[in-house]
Each structure stands twice: as structure tokens, then as C-alpha cells.
Amino acid sequence: MLTKNYYFTALLLLSLRMLSAQQINPTIPQDWCGTHGYSPWLTWYHDHKAEISSLRNDDSTMLYVPVTMHLVGPDNATSFYEEKDCFRILCELNEQYAPARIYFYFSPGEPFVYHAKSLWYNHDWDGGKDMIESTRIPDRLNCYVVADPAGNCGYSWLDAIVLGTGCSNPGNSTWAHEAGHHFSLPHPFFGWEGHNWTFNQPAPLEWDGYPVEKMDGSNCYDSGDRFCDTRPDYLNYRWNCDAQQFSTVTQKDPDGVVFRSDASLYMSYSLDACASRFTEEQIEAMRTNLFTEHISYLQTFDFGGLVADDAKVTYLSPIDSSIQQYNNIVLEWAPVDNATFYYVEVSTSPYFSVVFSSAFVYDNITSLKITKNIPNNKTMYWRVTPYSEWDVCKSIASLPPAVFKTKNLSATNELERVADISLTPNPVAGGNSVVLGVNSSESIDMMLTINDASGRLCFQKFVEMYSGDNLMNISTDRLEAGLYFVTIQTSKGTLVKRLVVTK
Ligand SMILES: [Zn+2]
């Protein structure tokens, strides 16, 4: 049982409240990261460093950050970033922030919030502002996952971070980078964002109104990212590193000293594979930020226990290859100690190489009803992985699956029992093809006939269908708009489906 309490002076919090109204302001789009500028908090931090350090708890205290993931999709809600990937994101963030003793967990009861809004899914800065201001939830890190965050991989703004799905893949460092901005860290190349420069000539003393960081460290607290344990870096575009984790490009500081940028920093623009760390001064600033500007994240919580690493799920039903109606299956399992989420997967393979259905189940519910996407006449494997809000890094490969078989128990003839027959799309726009799908447990010869509403024969063809999945394209070129009857005749019975052709 872990319980955290933190105490601070009212005076300090009062001065911070005035600061937190402002945020880093992104101005230049079409970039890897859309965050530019200094956080006002960072200036305050440098001005009050000594005073704050005496108020802060010791550096070994683990700081727990609650997260709500805002999953944004288009108006028709057809595409959202997947919840299982959100668990992976937090798992990776926790590895990246382990040296900072910062741990991210899902906000209890509100791990995911869905927004179906195309204007936010692919947004410009106005859309991003509208999205954050109308949906941000206080007292936790609000993370938005969208298709296009104003032309960037991600940005940190208005006390939230926004990430693109294309930059949220395994091994990406974008989340660590944007969370770093959220906790006040600037780019090491601060001031150079959005500018062009020929790097083999000495840098000027000032650039864009800010002093340029030198290799001798003389101005390191006033320029660049304002930390002295990060060396100068002017590279404001995505760049690759050498084997020693330095930039392949050399630069010259205002004194003409040649140097390479440190690619190991998450806050630099080095490629994902190059970045692996925050420096001690960056860590101290982020932790102090959490103890001040973002103190409301550090809530007093009863963590409960963690889900045991070797926790085994007891499958209740269906098990032992029992027969299930393929389009009406209820999966049930026994609760696992301390688990609050379950991830359920159904596959035709015991290795889950192809997953036909998957879902997260919350709030201590231990069952899931599935009515679509499960093939008929198949042996199916299902497994459940337990998680909790705190426990975001489960490995699922070792959990043994349960087995059931699918049938069409409501079939009225032998044909429906052995084959699942579909016709898509339906209605179909005239001129487009319609696909006849036959999932059969054995080979069948069939006569396919299409008649119009008045019974006239429009199409007829003999087709051989094999065991497994069969797909056949049927052209509607010669079909007028209207209602048709598609008849499938076999030795095991006949099936008639309606087909609507539109103009
Ligand atoms: Zn950035």
C-alpha cells in the first residue's frame, strides 16, 4: 500500500497560480515538434531555485502522474488510436522517465475519453485550441491523440500535450519529448526554431533576440534550454547521430569552436533511435515543476495492490472447445486480484497472429459479448490480460488461451450450417462491384443466380467454393437501380439474399 502526502506553503502556490495561466506558445507549424518558446514557469524557476529546493521532497521520491488519454477520431467515429497502444505508450514513458523517478498511470475511472470530431482529428492551431479548451480535465496530464496535430508530430500547449498517431509508434521518443515540454523543458536549440543557418560558419552572439549558447558554458543558464549540463545545439531540424550519439553535422559557436550536438537528449531533434535520456538539471526542473506548477497531479491516493506478474486468468466460459453461435458469444472469466481492466482477444490461432476481435473491459466487469467479426465453423482461441490503472506494462504472450468452436446454430438448412455467406456492400452503387464472401467448412459447388424484382434472370454462374474464405466480385454494370434477389443453390440447400443497387 503506497500513500503519498505532500505539503507546501500557501505563499508558493499563490505565486504559481498566477504563472500557470500562461503556457508555451506554438507559433511555427510544419515541424517535428510544434512547441516553441520558454515556459514562464521556467523563468520563475531560475529566479527562485534556491528557495524551491528547500521546499521540495528528496529526489528519490517517486512522483506519480495521472493521465487521461483523449482519443480523437473523425465525425463518423471510424478511426481512433487504440487503447492497447495507450498502455504501451505509458509503459514506454515509464521506462524513459524512470531515471527521473516520474511514473505515469491512468487516471482512475477516466483512462480514455473519446471525441469524434473531424475538425480536431486533423486540426490547425485554432482547432487544437478549441479541442483542448473545451475538453481538458483538471488535475491530470491531458494527452490528445489525433491524426494531424497542426502539421507536427506533436506539441505541448495550453497545459496539455497533443500527439499524432504517426509519431506514436513503438520506439518513438515524441511522447517523452512533449511530456518534457509539459514539465517546462525547452529545446536545447531554443531560439533557432524555424530559422535557416549555415552551420559551418561561427554562430552570432545573439539570435532571434536571445544569446547563443557557447561551448565554454559561459552563458548556459541564459541561453539555449537554460541548463548547463546540456551542451550547445543549434540544429532545428530532424537529424541523425553517429555511433557516439552526437550529430553527424558540426556547428561553430560564436567563438568559432567546432562542436557536435548531443543526440542522446529527448528534447533535441535527433531521430528517435538516437535519444535516450534527460540530464540531471532537466530532471530537477521537471520534478520541481511537478512539485509546484503541477502540484495538483500529485494526489493522495490509495494505490491498492498491483496485478501479480504471474497472475493467471481463470476462463469460465466458453472453454473446452464448446460449440458457440458464431455471432453471439459471451466470454466470461473470473476476476483477478487488483485488476481493473481486462484486455480480451479472440483469434483463430493459439498464437494470436490474426486477431478477429479485441476489446478493453473496464470497471471490474469480467465478461464480454461479441456479435460480429467472428468467423463461422472455426476453432477459436481467446485470452484475457489483466491490467490496472497503475500496472500498464503487462506481457501477454505467456497467458494460455481458452478454446471454443463456432457454428451457426440458428441455421435452417445444411448450407447455412457449413457456410457463412455475405454480400457487401449492400446497398451497392450501380457500376461498382459487390463482393460475395463465403466462409465454408468444406468445398461446395454452387449455382449463383441474380433475378430482378419481377423475376427476370439477370445473371447466372456456376462457382466452386473451397474450404475456408472465398471472395468473388460480381459486377453491377448491367444492373439498373433496384431490388434484386441473389440465389445460391447447392446440394446442401438454397439461400436467397436481397441486393439493392442504387443509382
Ligand atoms: Zn519540442
Domain boundaries, the chain: 10-17+40-50+62-185+278-297, 186-277, 315-407, 414-502
* Centre of ligand 1 from the C-alpha of residue 171, in Å: 17
* Centre of ligand 1 from the C-alpha of residue 187, in Å: 6
The β-bridge partners of 122 are 148
- Cell numbers describing residue 158: 495550453
pLDDT string in tens for the chain (503-residue length): 333 333 333 334 334 433 333 334 443 334 678 888 889 999 999 999 888 876 666 678 899 999 999 999 999 999 999 999 999 999 999 999 999 999 999 998 899 999 999 999 999 999 999 999 999 999 999 999 999 999 999 999 999 999 999 999 999 999 999 999 999 999 999 989 888 899 999 999 998 888 999 999 999 999 999 999 999 999 999 999 999 999 999 999 999 999 999 999 999 999 999 999 999 999 999 999 999 999 999 986 666 678 887 888 999 999 999 999 999 999 999 999 989 889 999 999 999 999 999 999 988 899 999 999 898 888 999 999 988 888 888 766 567 899 999 988 888 888 888 888 889 999 999 999 999 988 887 888 999 999 998 989 999 999 998 887 889 999 999 899 999 999 999 998 888 999 999 98
Q: How far apart are CA 222 and CA 233, in angstroms?
A: 14
* Centre of ligand 1 from the C-alpha of residue 217, in Å: 23
Same CATH topology for 315-407 and 414-502: the answer is yes
* Centre of ligand 1 from the C-alpha of residue 219, in Å: 22
* Centre of ligand 1 from the C-alpha of residue 242, in Å: 21
Q: Is 120 helix (H, G, I), strand (E, B) or coil?
A: helix
Q: How far apart are CA 191 and CA 222, in angstroms?
A: 12
- Cell numbers describing residue 31: 515541424
- Cell numbers describing residue 121: 482529428
**167: number of CA atoms within 13 Å, CB side?**
25
* Centre of ligand 1 from the C-alpha of residue 334, in Å: 45
CATH architecture of 414-502: Sandwich (2.60)
CATH dotted code for 10-17+40-50+62-185+278-297: 3.40.390
| Residue 309 CA from chain centroid, whole number | 23
* Centre of ligand 1 from the C-alpha of residue 60, in Å: 27
Classify domain 315-407 at the CATH topology level: Immunoglobulin-like (2.60.40)
- Pair 236, 188: CB distance under 8 Å: no
- The pLDDT of residue 397 is 59
* Centre of ligand 1 from the C-alpha of residue 440, in Å: 53
* Residue entry with cell 538516437: 274
* Centre of ligand 1 from the C-alpha of residue 174, in Å: 8
Q: What angle do CA 321, 326, 331 make, to 5 degrees?
A: 60
Q: Is 256 helix (H, G, I), strand (E, B) or coil?
A: coil
- The pLDDT of residue 81 is 97
* Centre of ligand 1 from the C-alpha of residue 33, in Å: 4
* Centre of ligand 1 from the C-alpha of residue 63, in Å: 23
- The pLDDT of residue 408 is 86
Within 266-359, residue ranges assigned H as helices are: 280-291
* Centre of ligand 1 from the C-alpha of residue 234, in Å: 13
- Pair 378, 406: CB distance under 8 Å: yes
* Centre of ligand 1 from the C-alpha of residue 216, in Å: 25
Positive or negative CA dihedral for 64, 66, 72, 76?
Answer: positive
* Centre of ligand 1 from the C-alpha of residue 143, in Å: 15
Q: How far apart are CA 136 and CA 132, in angstroms?
A: 5
Q: How far apart are CA 198 and CA 192, in angstroms?
A: 12
Angle between helices 174-182 and 83-96 (to 10 degrees): 70
* Centre of ligand 1 from the C-alpha of residue 37, in Å: 10
- Cell numbers describing residue 96: 524513459
| Residue 378 CA from chain centroid, whole number | 31
* Centre of ligand 1 from the C-alpha of residue 197, in Å: 19
Q: What is the DSSP string of 10-75?
A: HHHHHHHHHHTT--------SSSB---S--HHHHHHHHTHHHHHHHSPPTTS-EEEEEEEEEEE-T
* Centre of ligand 1 from the C-alpha of residue 145, in Å: 16
* Centre of ligand 1 from the C-alpha of residue 267, in Å: 6
* Centre of ligand 1 from the C-alpha of residue 307, in Å: 35
